[in-house]
Amino acid sequence: MSNNDYTYNVLIARFRDFVEGHYILKRFTHGQIADADLAKNNLYPWLHVVPEGINFSEGTKAYNFSVMIADLPREKEDKNTYQAEVISDCLQIFSDLIATIENGTLFGREVVLGTPVNVEAFIQEQSNSLTGVEGSITINVDYNWNACDVPANFNPFTPITGEPPTFSPLHFNDSLNLDGNSVTLDNDVELPGNTFYYGTNSEGIKGWYALPSGSSFTCADVDACPTIVAMLADIANKANSADLGAVAFSNDYNDLDNLPAIVLTAPNIDSQRSAELGNEYQVGDVVHSGGNIYRCLATNSGIAVTDPAYWVLIGPGYPTRQTIIDYNGTTGDAQIINKPTLAAVATSGDYNDLTNTPALALVATTGDYNDLLNTPDLSGYGDMLKSTYDVDNDGVVDMAKKEVVEVINKTGATLTKGTICYIKSTSSSGTHPEVLKANANSEATSSKTMGAIYEDLPNDEVGFLVTSGEVRNLDTSAYTTGALLWLATTDGQVTTTPPAEPNHTVFIGHVTRAQNTNGRVLYAIQNGYELTELHGVQCPSPATNDVLKYDGTLWVNGTLSKSDVGLANVDNTSDANKPISTATQTALDTKISVSKAVISGNHGGATVAAGATTYSGFYGGTFVTLAQEFGRRTLIPTAGTLKNWAMQIGAQPATGALTITLRKNAVDTSYIITVAQGSASGVFPSTPNSNSLAVAYGDIISYKAFNAATTTSGTIVLSAIILEI
């Protein structure tokens, strides 16, 4: 009998402890599912418990719960695959839950898990696709119909003698009265003394009265005393206390005589228990250690049994069996005794060892469809059902995951799943084509690559070769999703790098999922072609330096002549002696050579006064007034473009910039050199820029300078510009 009171609250609290201690679960709720606010809580995975009923039976109280474990799969990707992964993960968590119940780590060993436990997967379309598993769990706990602690005060029903017996509330007659939970006498007193009797006086009043003094009291001395007579009769029927054994007073099992020899057993003590795991030893638990059995006095995590604060010795004992029973054992405690004599088929599993076997039809031993009787007519349908592959009945297959062909393995070893193979030109089978491992090393082992082995194919057995389509459950962890696969130079293998010549290039397919156990590959074999295998090409014996040319009917190999490319007149004249055409020479005669001239001037360190505007030109010398500008101008002798204007100027004061503007025919142009305030001495601009000015024959150029500083400008040393013709 369990010492624990397993109420509904206790069970719900332990479910919550399981969720909070689990490394994957994030949230726990209980009650009706409508009360769990799915829209406002996004903590998943999630465990929800719904009470479904409590059943009472002899010695047992059974709690029935519906347990749901759910998660949200990722969206906008391969939705179905992620839903399958969520169902798998939630089912594993459900397995964790029932394992902890069955092993006693969640509720203790007094709780019995009802079996079988049925679990179903579900997908509920909410704002997201809530996915998981739901199952019914029954938890059985001890129940002894104990009414001692009922918080109530009422007149209980008691059995009444008869056939059959009946039940009725107690009736209190005459002098007896029910006062709460107590039965009292009329006019009772607390301590009447041993010289008083209870009865009725001469006036008919019930109560305690003193015995007559100095007389021997008998029933004859008291009027109407049936109560005393009945009490004496009842006492006469009682056993003498001297005749009772010690157990009658102690109620102690150890006070019984002739006690049986009871062998005590218990599991070995486990020092790995902990509060974090929720499996601490509880008060009343028993364990075995060192040939003795101990009872737990206080909750602990496997503290040594020598600590009297936690354990008390019960007596010698043995550990509960933890060794594996050996059916074939003949000695020791692992053997099974009184085993039945088994028929030969029980150990051989061979149908031929059975007796009175029925006469089997031929197909039962051959497994050949053609040995069946009354087979349906499948002509015109092949191996595919129209109801499955041609739903719209238009005569065209609607969808297929893959195409396969039956082949036989005669390589002498197992061909593993995903091995790339080609079909051998001959077969020793007679019923199926043989396959060999393909590789990119030669034309013979690559050009006829056919597909990949669908499942591991042992030697001398028939299996499937996938010629196109997707295959699942492959190890593609070495690749990335979307990777292109090519036939490798290693037998039957693939690579992400196309083999270089002289190896042969064969495209195998695409990695559609990268994963170590659930990887997928979409096979779409494309064999590379040799030049001589192309349609319309005739190249039986190519030679070095041959080219491919069209002869009007076919592409053929051969050498090229000058006439083949329209260069019949080309010879080996050196470059220096090569003439130009008459037309080219005529055009050149109308041209003049492109040339450049530099126009420059030396100003010898001239300056511009503060706030002044002065004029000068490439003639050089000092800067003058506008009226004197004509003496500093330069005449342009040919049409061209002025560019790359540069001037060497000293440091400019920090109070203002120096601006020099190119002028054409006494008019300012947009071609300007600016020396910023505070600039150090140097050439301005510091690098050539794209500014330019078109000039014509007879144009006159000069430039003006404006000093915005409050002091004299930096010294102007040199000026130069290029005239490009």
Above 90 in pLDDT, residue 158?
no
Give the separation between CA 227 and CA 214, rounded to whole angstroms. Answer: 23
Mean pLDDT of 676-688: 93
Residue partners of 157: CB distance under 8 A and separation at least 6 = 167, 168, 169
Question: In the prediction, which pLDDT does 145 show?
Answer: 80
Question: In the prediction, which pLDDT does 434 show?
Answer: 94
> 8-142: what fold?
STM4215-like (3.30.2000)
Question: In the prediction, which pLDDT does 561 show?
Answer: 83
In the chain, where are the structural domains located? 8-142, 157-212, 264-319, 403-529, 596-724
Report the CATH number of the 264-319 domain: 2.10.10.20
Above 60 in pLDDT, residue 16?
yes
Residue 607: how many other CB atoms lie within 10 Å:
21
Question: Which tens digits make up the pLDDT trace of 378-415?
Answer: 544 445 556 666 666 766 665 566 888 999 999 999 99
Q: Confidence class of residue 701 from pLDDT cuts 50, 70 and 90?
A: very high
Question: In the prediction, which pLDDT does 416 show?
Answer: 95
Higher pLDDT, 12 or 328: 12
- DSSP assignment of 189-200 equals -S---TTEEEEE
pLDDT, the chain, mean: 83
Q: Confidence class of residue 339 from pLDDT cuts 50, 70 and 90?
A: confident
Question: In the prediction, which pLDDT does 379 show?
Answer: 46
Q: Confidence class of residue 572 from pLDDT cuts 50, 70 and 90?
A: confident
Of residues 654, 724, 659, 652, the one with CA closest to residue 694: 724
Q: Confidence class of residue 224 from pLDDT cuts 50, 70 and 90?
A: very low
Mean pLDDT of 295-315: 90
Mean pLDDT of 89-110: 91
Above 80 in pLDDT, residue 64?
yes
Mean pLDDT of 136-140: 94
Question: Which tens digits make up the pLDDT trace of 517-551?
Answer: 999 999 999 987 777 777 888 888 888 988 888 88
> 403-529: what fold?
Virus Head Decoration Protein; Chain: A, (2.40.300)
Mean pLDDT of 487-508: 92
Q: Confidence class of residue 552 from pLDDT cuts 50, 70 and 90?
A: confident
Token pair in block for residue 678? 């505070």
Q: What angle do CA 677, 678, 684 make, to 5 degrees?
A: 75
Question: In the prediction, which pLDDT does 151 show?
Answer: 75
Question: Which tens digits make up the pLDDT trace of 210-220?
Answer: 777 654 555 45
Looking at 3.30.1020.10, 2.40.50.140, 2.40.10.10, 2.60.120.40, the CATH number of the domain 596-724 comes to 2.60.120.40
- DSSP assignment of 505-565 equals -EEEEEEEE--TTTEEEEEEEEE---GGGSTTEE-SS--TT-EEEE-SSSEEEE---TGGG
